[in-house]
């Protein structure tokens, strides 16, 4: 993608300076803990940095079927937690938990400090883990003080801008979110010592707010209901005083989203007014405004999903309609998105009819061949990223999601032969060159004799995880054959269908043979009945495990490092190791083949992501490779270097392989 996984380590921290303000209040009990920070000396920046870690985080729930376990690649700095950290030196930081824990924070003022961290899951299917607050304190001694630390990490507001509104999260039903108001008196402003109010307006029917939830300066907020254009808003007033020319401040208003709202509901956009009445020093009144982009209630489910419009179909029905939704969680917009879909045995092997797509130009549709796979290509397509800078300020989370819908024709002859069975479907989604992601399984059950009358069906679902045998051997091991002959499957079924079937010699056999096994889930539906008076089904889900041992090795020969400035030059070459087919796609487009290289020219970046996927087996591997700086010969204590040393980067001495992950899970989740 345009800013791929490899760039996740480069995403700038959103850290903003304000005056000396702090806040203190409590949020629901339970949830995360903030561990005492560790202190490390950064020889390149010549400063001491504090690193924080979070503990006691619950595992977000996955409500998909038992066979469909989520696999989150730990090597990627995307994780399932969003963090807003606010410090008492007037700065704040937003990003993922992994990025927060790998960021070093420097402080100027000595003595005791406090930090408050808002942590909320990005995805949580049962929505049982709402946002929580962790509080911590630490001490900065005189030896660890960094003059101007807060100002150095303060990004500029737009030229001439006086106020900017943002939020920590997109609104989720019943979940926490914090509105962040940045405001300033520009250096070229007319007045010193501005006094006035910030007035934040939120839709009262959607956003819950209590005056005790505001935290900013010494002056307390007030709140009142106001009706504007027929809509009831909560007007939250935050006074400010003595805002000198060039001064920057922040205000924070913590709220929750109502539990009564529905997902995908658009609601009235929040905005903030900056009001400084006329004063003798200025002679004029000053007013400015900032609003968030169009707001939509988002859900807490994995967005890479597939659903079927008709969950109960009749034997004479001519088509079924599928919708595939997807979301980019990357640090920048995509260049291309590809959706691959294998048509079920009971569908006609022809191109589906596109009904809905997100781009102005219709996607390119590659028709199915003998493998029954149809491919939809959105190229170019710049879908915004969930971890892209500007989220919840210049664009909303709704802009990171999209979907396509298509109608597939049912084969009437085959459908008549399989009453009471089901049409299954699962899509694969690829963002640029990143690993494929599988959606959950969509099922349309043949429960109806006619399109007017459907049966109540006794389903006997049974989920089993097992390791398949090697290529050319029947799909079911003896143990699984015994299972099929035991309850709940002993109801005398007479029809069976496997999905997907492209890798099987015959998907209509109970015990087919692999022709080209993939590392994925296979589903068997067995049934008996005639959709007239009786109908009973059973389901078996099994995952093929082809013992992925794909790995990555990084060669650093010839790499040159200046240990005092941290400047690196040379070549990093990543090579695939272990068993693989040779049909390899590196996650950094457009690289493919056995190896790929990165040319490093006068850079101080030390962490590099490498990832690849074996297109034939479905196995993937990822690493984050960190170049370790050798000691700088500066006499210690953070002083200047006595001389620059060109240090050859022997792999064992200077480069540390932080994370090597062989991803053998059944599903790649939210890669971008």
Identify the pLDDT of residue 473.
62
**CA–CA distance, 406 with 351 (Å, rounded to integer):** 10
Rounded to 10 degrees, the C-alpha dihedral 300/463/672/602 comes to 120
Supply the DSSP string of 153-181, one letter for each residue.
T-PPPPTT--EEEEESS--BTT-EEEEEE
Q: Are 649 and 556 in contact (CB under 8 A)?
A: yes
Identify the pLDDT of residue 52.
94
Identify the pLDDT of residue 5.
27
Identify the pLDDT of residue 155.
63
Q: By CB neighbour count within 10 A (0-12 exposed, 13-18 middle, 19+ buried), where does 612 fall?
A: buried
Q: Within the chain, which residues score under 50 in pLDDT?
A: 1-29, 61-78, 213-218, 461-465, 469-470, 635-672
Query: How many CB atoms sit inside 10 A of residue 392's CB?
Result: 21
Identify the pLDDT of residue 226.
94
How far does Cα 11 stand from its chain's mean position?
Answer: 14
Looking only at the bridges linking them, the beta strands covering 535-543 and 458-463 are parallel
Supply the DSSP string of 459-486, one letter for each residue.
EEEEE-------TTSBSS-HHHHHHHTS
Torsion-angle region of 85 (φ positive above 0: left; ψ -120 to 50: alpha; else: beta) = beta
**CA–CA distance, 321 with 352 (Å, rounded to integer):** 9
Identify the pLDDT of residue 67.
31
Nearest residue to 527 via CA among 504, 507, 497, 487: 497
Identify the pLDDT of residue 17.
32
Tokens at residue 441, please?
Answer: 């399984």
């Amino acid at each position: 993608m345009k800013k791929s996984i490899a760039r996740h380590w480069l995403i700038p921290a959103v850290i903003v300076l304000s005056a000396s303000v702090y806040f203190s209040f409590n949020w629901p009990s339970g949830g995360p803990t903030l561990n005492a920070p560790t202190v490390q000396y950064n020889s390149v920046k010549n400063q001491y940095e504090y690193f924080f870690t979070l503990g006691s985080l619950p595992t977000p729930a996955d409500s998909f079927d038992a066979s469909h376990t989520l696999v989150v690649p730990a090597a990627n700095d995307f994780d399932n937690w969003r963090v807003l950290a606010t410090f008492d030196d007037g700065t704040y930081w937003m990003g993922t938990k992994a990025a927060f824990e790998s960021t070093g924070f420097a402080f100027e003022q000595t003595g005791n400090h406090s930090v408050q961290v808002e942590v909320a899951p990005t995805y949580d299917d049962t929505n049982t883990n709402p946002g929580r607050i962790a509080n911590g304190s630490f001490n900065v001694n005189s030896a660890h003080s960094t003059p101007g630390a807060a100002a150095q990490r303060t990004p500029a507001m737009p030229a001439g801008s006086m106020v900017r509104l943002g939020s920590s999260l997109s609104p989720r039903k019943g979940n926490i979110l914090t509105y962040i108001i940045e405001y300033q008196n520009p250096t070229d402003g007319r007045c010193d010592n501005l006094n006035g109010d910030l007035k934040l307006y939120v839709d009262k029917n959607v956003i819950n707010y209590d005056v005790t939830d505001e935290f900013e300066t010494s002056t307390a907020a007030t709140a009142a209901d106001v009706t504007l254009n027929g809509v009831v808003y909560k007007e939250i007033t935050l006074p400010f005083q003595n805002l000198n020319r060039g001064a920057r401040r922040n205000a924070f208003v913590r709220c929750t989203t109502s539990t009564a709202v529905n997902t995908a509901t658009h609601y009235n956009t929040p905005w903030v007014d900056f009001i400084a009445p006329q004063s003798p020093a200025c002679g004029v009144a000053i007013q400015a405004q900032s609003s968030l982009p169009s707001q939509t209630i988002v859900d807490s489910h994995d967005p890479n999903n597939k659903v079927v419009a008709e969950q109960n179909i009749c034997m004479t029905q001519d088509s079924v309609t599928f919708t595939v939704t997807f979301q980019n969680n990357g640090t920048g917009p995509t260049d291309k998105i590809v959706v691959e879909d294998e048509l079920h045995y009971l569908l006609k092997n022809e191109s589906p009819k596109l009904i809905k797509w997100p781009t102005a130009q219709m996607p390119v549709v590659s028709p199915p061949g003998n493998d029954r796979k149809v491919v939809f290509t959105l190229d170019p397509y710049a879908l915004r990223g969930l971890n892209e800078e500007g989220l919840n300020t210049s664009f909303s989370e709704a802009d990171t999601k999209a979907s396509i819908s298509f109608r597939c024709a049912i084969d009437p002859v085959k459908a008549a032969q399989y009453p009471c069975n089901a049409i299954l479907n699962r899509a694969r989604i690829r963002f640029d060159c990143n690993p494929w992601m599988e959606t959950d399984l969509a099922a349309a059950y043949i429960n109806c004799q006619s399109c007017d009358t459907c049966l109540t069906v006794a389903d006997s679902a049974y989920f089993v995880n097992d390791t398949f045998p090697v290529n050319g051997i029947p799909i079911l091991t003896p143990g699984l054959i015994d299972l099929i002959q035991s309850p709940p499957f002993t109801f005398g079924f007479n029809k069976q269908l496997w999905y997907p079937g492209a890798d099987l010699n015959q998907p209509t056999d109970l015990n087919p043979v692999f022709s080209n096994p993939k590392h994925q889930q296979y589903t068997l539906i067995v049934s008996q009945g005639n959709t007239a008076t009786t109908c009973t089904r059973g389901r078996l889900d099994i995952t093929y495990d082809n013992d992925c041992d794909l790995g990555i090795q990084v060669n650093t020969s010839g790499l040159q490092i200046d240990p005092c400035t941290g400047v690196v030059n040379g070549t990093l070459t990543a090579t695939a190791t272990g068993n693989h087919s040779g049909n390899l796609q590196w996650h950094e487009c457009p690289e493919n083949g056995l190896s790929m290289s990165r040319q490093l020219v006068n850079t101080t970046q030390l962490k590099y992501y490498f990832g690849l996927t074996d297109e034939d087996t479905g196995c993937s591997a990822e690493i984050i490779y960190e170049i370790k700086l050798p000691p700088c010969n500066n006499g210690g204590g953070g002083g200047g270097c006595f001389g620059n040393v060109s240090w050859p980067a022997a792999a064992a001495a200077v480069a540390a392989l932080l994370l090597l992950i062989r991803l053998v899970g059944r599903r790649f989740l939210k890669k971008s």
